[in-house]
């Protein structure tokens, strides 16, 4: 297995989180990528939205979701909300942007079309419990979807299988786990475990990741991020 910083081969080879790099890539891609990911058989470049991301990267991400006609004041208000969430969450995903936009308009213009309840469409893990043993691995999960709190329990061939089976029962989505990878991104007893997964739904593949000191929690968050990516894909054509 290659390290995530390995040239061209690691998970982060075409992932860009620095605000300066993101801005440069959006202005002139060749400035920071002398080799493009599609040239070596990989998916397109990945702009990872973090607290270091600048306005250009955030605006580009919003436009891809259909929010392309924001006024300067609207964008600045949404960008402020983005920075607050990025400080708390570290990495911000497309489904997070929907919720940020919704929150902005609910606060400033409740009659605006973007004040609709995007957050009602997304899933958030509230609690999970996993029992790992050689004979009966099981998992119980509590998930929030809008104002609903959904619960499910499942058994599996292992703790991850049980965990993902419980989440699948809650979301009622027909998905297939294509790839599951774990990497350590820090050292010591409080080391962060980073989980990267790929799932398939209706012929399309969705990649997501998450990190936590609890690898089971990171696994659940990564899976839920992937599920929310499916929801985003269904919402985006409506927005556009």
Give the separation between CA 137 and CA 232, rounded to whole angstroms.
32
pLDDT band at 189 (very low <50, low <70, confident <90, very high): low
Give the separation between CA 33 and CA 26, rounded to whole angstroms.
11
Contacts with 225 (C-beta within 8 Å, 6 or more apart), sequence order: 93, 95, 208, 209, 210
- Residue 172 has a pLDDT of 93
Q: Considering only the C-alpha atoms of the chain, give the largest distance between any 2 of them, rounded to a whole number of Å.
A: 59
- Residue 39 has a pLDDT of 46
Using DSSP bridges, classify how beta strands 46-47 and 15-16 pair: parallel, antiparallel or unpaired. Answer: parallel
**Start-end of CATH 3.30.160.270 domains in the chain:** 122-239
Mean pLDDT rounded to a whole number for the chain:
82
Question: What does the pLDDT look like over 114-124, one tens digit per residue?
Answer: 766 778 899 99
pLDDT band at 236 (very low <50, low <70, confident <90, very high): confident
Burial class (CB in 10 A: 0-12, 13-18, 19+), 150: middle
**How confident is the model over 140-147, as a mean pLDDT?**
95
- Residue 100 has a pLDDT of 93
Give the separation between CA 27 and CA 174, rounded to whole angstroms.
38
Question: What does the pLDDT look like over 97-111, one tens digit per residue?
Answer: 999 999 999 888 877
- Does 171 have pLDDT greater than 50? yes
Q: Structure tokens of 146? A: 């809008």
**How confident is the model over 209-225, as a mean pLDDT?**
94
Q: Structure tokens of 34? A: 């002398």
10 with 4: CB under 8 angstroms? yes
Contacts with 221 (C-beta within 8 Å, 6 or more apart), sequence order: 125, 195, 210, 212
- Does 227 have pLDDT greater than 50? yes
Identify the CATH assignment for 122-239 out of 3.30.160.270, 3.40.50.300, 3.30.200.20, 3.30.930.10. Answer: 3.30.160.270
- Does 9 have pLDDT greater than 80? no
Give the separation between CA 52 and CA 19, rounded to whole angstroms.
5
**Phi and psi dihedrals of 64, rounded to 5?**
-65, -25
- Residue 135 has a pLDDT of 85
- Residue 214 has a pLDDT of 93
Question: What does the pLDDT look like over 34-71, one tens digit per residue?
Answer: 444 444 344 554 578 888 888 999 999 999 988 988 99
- Residue 106 has a pLDDT of 87
């Amino acid at each position: 297995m290659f390290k995530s910083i390995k040239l061209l081969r690691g998970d982060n080879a075409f992932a860009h989180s620095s605000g300066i790099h993101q801005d440069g890539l959006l202005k002139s891609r060749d400035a920071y990528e002398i080799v493009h990911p599609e040239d070596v058989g990989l998916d397109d470049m990945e702009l990872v939205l973090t607290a270091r991301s600048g306005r250009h990267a955030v605006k580009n991400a919003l436009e891809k979701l259909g929010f392309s006609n924001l006024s300067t004041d609207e964008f600045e208000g949404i960008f402020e909300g983005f920075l607050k969430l990025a400080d708390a969450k570290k990495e911000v995903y497309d489904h997070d942007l929907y919720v940020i936009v919704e929150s902005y308009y609910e606060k400033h213009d409740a009659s605006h079309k973007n004040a609709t309840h995007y957050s009602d469409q997304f899933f958030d893990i509230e609690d999970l419990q996993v029992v790992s043993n050689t004979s009966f691995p099981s998992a119980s999960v509590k998930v929030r979807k809008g104002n609903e709190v959904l619960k499910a329990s499942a058994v599996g061939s292992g703790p991850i299988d049980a965990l993902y089976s419980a989440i699948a029962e809650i979301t009622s989505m027909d998905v297939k786990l294509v790839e599951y990878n774990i990497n350590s991104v820090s050292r010591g007893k409080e080391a962060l475990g980073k989980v990267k997964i790929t799932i398939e739904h209706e012929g399309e593949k969705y990649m997501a990741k998450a990190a936590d000191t609890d690898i089971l929690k990171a696994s659940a968050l990564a899976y839920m991020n992937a599920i929310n990516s499916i929801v985003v894909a269904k919402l985006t054509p409506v927005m556009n």
